[in-house]
Amino acid sequence: MTAQIIDCKKLAQSVKEELKAKIAPLSAAPALAVIIVGCDPASEIYVRNKEKACLAVGIIPQTHKLPAETSKEELAALIERLNNNPDINGILVQLPLPAHLNAAEILPLISPVKDVDGFHPLNAGALLQKNAKTFIPCTPKGIIKLIKSTKPDLTGLNAVIIGRSQIVGLPVANLLLNENCTVTVAHSKTQNLPALCRTADILVVAVGKPELVTKEYIKPDSLVIDVGINRTANGLKGDVKFTDALETAAYITPVPNGVGPMTIAMLLDNTFEAYLKQHRP
């Protein structure tokens, strides 16, 4: 058996085409402000990709590049100006930040109604309360869309998530619970991890360790979502050994061009939602 590779780029493109059609008749285009502090090469690539994606669907990107030595007070002042600017619908602070800036202190400064990353404590709390009106973090939102493109009804399925970050693992767990899955969140302290993973109809891996998950982790005919993207001497690798997943799983996301394109598509979707909330409360 050979697993079906989920065409994440195709699904992301369909989302963008739908958004473009919805945005075209608006009297004013939605606008997304992206703040990048310092000169991290990977972050700069991500920001350029977001700019291109915005322009492709009719969203106005506004990028604010700040020097690495920017103080917390200076960054907070910029965020406050953007919060108060009615022409800006979404605000995103590109992570990681320089070491002297604490993301846990910076991200809550973004207005919850413009928090298109879904990281503000109010939005995170609303997700726990199953509030459909909250902003769902982009990567988890994209993961659920990818999963449901193969299995529209997830009721009763066993899901295992490796990784408990507040950006991916925990939101995905809550979203899968909302889909009536039985969910286990595994992490570095989990015992007998391969055996646990072999119980999973849906396996989501987000740990940042290249090819951690091999054949002995994967239940036959399962669905595997590889969130990892790791730069190695042999090129980009996921958290899942791709050839092993191909031999064992029913569905697998590729690396690269897997979860990443869906994350950007969901950022655009959240920006459009923010526009609607601000213009049509």
Active-site residue (options: 50, 141, 219, 237): 50
Strands (E), 14-128: 31-37, 60-66, 90-93
Q: In Å, how far are 24, 89, 111, 190 from 86, measured between CA atoms?
A: 20, 7, 12, 47
Structure token digits, residue 265: 């598509």
Active-site residue (options: 94, 114, 141, 226): 94
Give the side-chain half-sphere CA count within 13 A for 184.
18
Active-site residue (options: 115, 117, 201, 226): 117
Residue 278 catalytic? no
- Region at 151 (left for phi over 0; alpha for psi -120 to 50; beta for the rest): beta
How far apart (Å, rounded) are the C-alpha atoms in residues 145 and 127? 16
- Region at 137 (left for phi over 0; alpha for psi -120 to 50; beta for the rest): beta
- Region at 173 (left for phi over 0; alpha for psi -120 to 50; beta for the rest): alpha
How far apart (Å, rounded) are the C-alpha atoms in residues 142 and 145? 5
Q: Among 236, 204, 241, which Cα is nearest to 222's?
A: 204
Residue 166 catalytic? no
Terminal-residue alpha carbon distance, the chain: 50
Residue 94 catalytic? yes
* Catalytic machinery residues: 50, 94, 117
